[in-house]
Structure 1
């Protein structure tokens, strides 16, 4: 079959795409235009935008020669450019209606396990499911629990890996008794392959879960052992602190930490008692346990790097942003007399030094604030790097005695010249 997969470069979408290819299907990847790359070098990719492609006419040309559609696109947070209503409801419905018009019968929708009360993410996903269920198609809706992979992570699974890798302590919300029924991303891919063919799966909704329900505490300890880290002291975190952290993540962050994830964890993310039996009987798949999945893919040094850096990199970015902001404030508050007296002899007029100091101070504050807000981070960090290199070369050349400053004024720039490329290189989320 020739299958169109939306969101094919995402964490779950990529595993589904790989499973379809392994099963012998021809896959067309539908992804945002900015993300068309060589992630699957042998597969064709077309541009789409689930935030804007909300009309049937947007999808009809993309369905030429397509036999089935798999929608994996989704967002955990809204932004000015992307809303839950558009990405989870309007665009998928337009895609499914276009498929019906083209005579494409089989459609697989990747939804999410949870209750609508957990947040607008889940609620919008389920409304999208309900809209699909009204169409005269051979639809299959799959609602996975917590999806993980030993070969990589993204979003909430990266957050949990980072928690598992914390040194010395393992902070848990409450006592870590929240119930999970995690499923491997590779098994989600197998479920999609089965859903394209299984006759009993037509017009059915399935909860995709692993073979065991476990507390969050056990889940994190297994990942910690897999990563090869020493045992840690479990620290029970009061509910109030968890709620504050979730609220701060919701308000100021753009990662998985937020109110939706906190509610889903608190309620538990496990399937109904019959979910596993239905997967086996009607889809013909038996998901692996977490222990087996980890045993089949031993951790590598890259896994340990990623887990250890998950919380360190944001702290490093914030500290760099504050350094720039404070430097800019100091540049504006220091007196003109001191600035003019610091001008290298016969190098620049004192007035030019003052103007340059004020301009660079303004640029420092602006870049620091933009870095703190994560506005186009690669561009901002690159401009910071250029400014820092300019400072270092200019001051080091015009006033070489600063290299001998006992406080290491210029010498401190050398590690920063390495830190900024590190932040640029690790900015990519997936």
Structure 2
């Protein structure tokens, strides 16, 4: 079959790997249908970029998708790190794979399934993330469908998300991981090598490299500390004096990340991420290299070829700070509203009385503004409503400033400068709003 007519379906086209693969394969001349639950405007660059509720689609709907688009190769890039609101590792890694296999068989087409998994083995799988990934692999191996399972190492790409963003941030700051974590085996792979492998498979009959599992990673062993050090050379931070963080700080950060996930956020530092980091990333790429002839890029070629740009540096420095910005704004609005409503209600009401507010309005205005502040804090706290909460916070702050200028202008020159400090708070909310995007 001519490669120009071998059509590829990429599931999870909004993710780090899926997005890159979708566009890379198109650049190579393959017709590609990219499917994601939600695609950003920048990701929807083709008529065949589709937004579909994959997790709720039955096998029959998946069969229709495959048949209607005359798919020859299915690339499954779907994955979630940890169970939580809106995330179910078993549903994504096992249940969806079951429906996908049923759909491929029902299509009665000679389809090759390329499944993106993770390095490791049953003996080292300890988290729901890794155990359900391995369950998906077993289902595929027993399905009778032509398949190739790819197990990429630590993925290095121009873009950064999740763990890769966290590693870049570590390289941008004068902090070292604890010695045990630094020494963890951490074999990387270039995103381009993953895409080249899928392109190699796509031009070959589904009987070639059928039923194989390949580890995709550089041959030379390295550690997590080695990966971070290489990125430091690109950032120009390799000769900075550094402070080694204690292990308990990683565990505390993971617990806080788990707590944040209850509000719909997906921080890279969660208990699963730390557990997988401590397990390490290791494998044997010999089978992959011998079969495809692809010579994997080394870490130096991936991360140290060019100096980091100012965009890289800003992102790496701001990425961990974003969590503190959101958390501080949530506390700012919740605490200020709570204090005015409960602890200092009389003092807040007295401010209005002293400026000749109608007595019948003092109570309702004090209660109303306090509840509004608390509501804004709650809106910012939840990822789904955070943008709305930040916009509401900016508008409310501007309203407070304008109202004070008209009704209580002397508050602008009061000793603690409460209203003057509202300006920086508005700027901070604007920064949070502009950095909300994850992809």
Check conservation: 2:168, 2:228, Cα contact below 8 A: yes
Q: Whole-Å Cα distance in 2 between the matches of residues 265 and 41 of structure 1?
A: 34
Q: CA deviation at 1:170?
A: 2.7
Deviation of the 1:264 alpha carbon: 2.3
TM-score, structure 2 as length reference: 0.89
Q: Write out per-residue CA displacement over residues 153-185 of structure 1, whole angstroms, 9 at most, x where no aligned residue.
A: 00101011111111x333435361111101111
**Equivalent position of 2:194 in the other structure:** 188
Task: Report SS of the residue matched to 1:35.
Answer: coil
Of 86-95 and 41-50, deviating more is 41-50
In structure 2, the partner of 1:154 is 161
Q: Residues 42-61 of structure 1: matches in 2 within 5 Å?
A: 42-53=46-57, 55-61=58-64
Contact 1:106 1:137 in 2 (8 A): yes
CA positional deviation for 1:22: 2.3
Give the Cα separation in 2 of the matches to 1:339 and 1:264. Answer: 50
Of the structure 1 ranges 336-345 and 154-163, higher mean CA displacement relative to structure 2 is found in 336-345
Q: Does 1:204 align with 2:212?
A: yes
Q: 1:224 to 1:62 in 2, by over 3 A?
A: same
Partner SS, residue 56 of structure 2: coil
In structure 2, the CA distance between the partners of 1:320 and 1:204, relative to structure 1 (3 Å rule), is same
Residues 6 and 30 in structure 1, CA contact (< 8 A), matched pair in contact too: yes
Report deviation, 1:421: 1.6
Runs of 5+ consecutive residues of structure 1 not aligned to the other structure:
none
Label 1:290 to 1:403 Cα distance change in 2 as closer, same or farther (>3 A). same
Instruction: Give the Cα separation in 2 of the matches to 1:122 and 1:27.
Output: 29
Give the distance between the partners of 1:336 and 1:219, measured in 2 at CA. 54
* Corresponding residue number in structure 2 for 1:419: 428
Instruction: Write the deviation string for residues 101-159 of structure 1: whole angstroms up to 9, x where unpaired.
Output: 2214211111111345331111111111111122222211111111111x110010101
Aligned equivalent of 1:62, options 57, 62, 65: 65
Greater displacement, 171-180 / 126-135: 171-180
User: Is the contact made by 1:7 and 1:72 (CA closer than 8 Å) also made in structure 2?
Assistant: yes
Give the aligned partner of residue 437 of structure 2: 428
Root mean square deviation, CA, Å: 2.2
Shift of 1:347: 6.3
| 1:384-423 pair list within 5 angstroms | 384-423=393-432
| CA contact 1:340–1:350 (8 Å) conserved in 2 | no
| Partners of 1:339 and 1:354 within 8 A in 2 | no
Q: Please, which of 265, 284, 287 is the counterpart of residue 293 of structure 2?
A: 284
* Distance (whole Å) between structure 2 residues aligned to residue 49 and residue 366 of structure 1: 31
Query: TM-score, with normalisation over the residues of structure 1?
Result: 0.91
Task: Say which SS state the counterpart of residue 147 (structure 1) adopts.
Answer: strand
Please say if residues 51 and 82 of structure 1, whose CA atoms lie closer than 8 Å, have aligned partners that are also in contact. Answer: no
Q: Secondary structure at the match of 1:403?
A: helix
Q: CA separation of 1:50/1:83 partners in 2, compared to 1, >3 Å: closer, same or farther?
A: farther
Which range is displaced more, 413-422 or 360-369? 360-369
